Every structure is written in structure tokens, then in C-alpha cells.
Amino acid sequence: MDLAELLKVAEAAVDRGRVVTDSRAPGVLTSKGDRDMASEVDFAVEREVRAFLERETPEIGVLGEEEGGATDGTRWVLDPIDGTVNFIHGVPLWGISLGLIHEGRAVAGVIDHPALGTRYAAAEGHGATCNRKPIRGSECTDLSDALVAVGDYAVGPDPDRVNAERLALTQLLYPRAQRIRMIGTAATALTWTAAGHFDATIMFSNKPWDTMAGVSICREAGVVVLDLDGSQHAPESRGTFAVSAGLADPLLELIAQTVA
């Protein structure tokens, strides 16, 4: 695959999504379950980006968060608005996230933050950039110096059980890390880890539209990306752990104490 060319396609597709986010308010909200929703803009961006990708790369499937699609093979994975709750509340931490999976691996990604004016992009073997400038992850080796992002607490069915691991990790982290952050968007947390702003991001989830673009960007920025058991991250991984190499082992020890 010519990943450099496909990255250009991805950027052009995200450009079209950006036109939608720049011109529309969130509009009517559609409930997706307990305290989870999609806005009109989520659907509009997904349809615009999907239509473009289907024209430009008809041989590659498309999986979108809101309307589904391809679940295997080489495929684009799209979150039209990652951080919808932030978006509808006017918090500028949200983004359009478009990744490419090939042979069971995240190989390219574009994450655009319209409200922040930043775009992150990467393709395997071509490095990672923010606004066209190369980025590298943190070199932190001491957990007491580390700024660690964690994924959102879950909503929906049986939240107490689902959140037990997240709460246990927080209990272990707060006396050890310099600070903990929860920002409400996996895409942004992963790009900020790729750029070295966060020293690690730990998420007890791995929805491909949330993570695949960010995983590709992190890897190309020299960040280690693992599943919660320390194995290499893959689309089917249980969770997503992006970390400075020097912090991987001590954080894996803490994660192992919390995972049932």
C-alpha cells in the first residue's frame, strides 16, 4: 500500500469534515443510551467523509461510529466528532479522527482539532506531525514527574462494575504520578501523548474509531502502544495504553493490580 498517498486522501477527507464542523452548530441530539448522544454534526461529518472515501478509495471499506460499516479487512475507521459531550457543551477538546487499519494494524491516521487549530497526522514509516511539524513523545522515566491521562468513566448498563477498574487505577495513580488528567476525548489524549504533553494515556477501552488514528500517530512519534496486559496493541485489544518507554513497566505493574 502507498501509505503516503493514502494519508493525503485521509487529510482531504478530514478537510471535508472540517467544513461541516466550521459551519454548523450541534443541532438536535440523538440519544445512544444512558447519558450518551450524537449530534446532528456527528452524522453530517460522517456522511460527508464516508462519501468522499468511498469515491476516492472504493477498494477500502469504511467503519464509522454512528452508522457502522466494514468490520474486517483493510478499512478506514472514523469518529466524526470524538468528544461529542465536550463539543455540545462548547468545550474545545474534540476532534475528527480518521484512521486506517491494514492487516490488523493501525497504519495511518489524521486527527484534526478544529477549535484548537491543530492537526496531527502519521503514516507508518513516514513519521508523525502536528501542523506539518515533526513531533516526538515524552522521554519521562520517573512516574513522580509524569502527567498521565486516563479514559472517561463509563456510562450505560452496570456502571459501578464497569468503572471498578478505572477507580482502582485512579487510587493507585494519584499518590504516584505528578498529576492525572481526564479530558473526555481519546483522540486528543493520544495526540497529546504523541506530542509529549502527556507522558502516558491509559484507557480501559479500545473502540477502533476512537483509537486507531491516535495509535498510528503515537507509534510514529516513538510512543510505545500496548494492550492492558503489555502485549502489542491491535484493533481487537481490550484497552489502549500509550506510554513513554521509560514508564511502561511501572505503569503496567499498576494496571495489572486493577484488571480483573
Binding site residues, as ranges?
65, 79, 81-82, 210
Residues marked as binding for Mg(2+)?
65, 79, 81-82, 210
C-alpha cell at 136: 516526538
Cβ(18)–Cβ(81) below 8 Å: no
Bridge partner list, 68: 64
AA letter at 224:
V
- Tell how strand 240-243 and strand 200-203 pair up: antiparallel
Question: Alpha carbon 215 to chain centroid distance?
Answer: 7
**What end-to-end distance do the CA atoms of the chain give, in Å?**
39
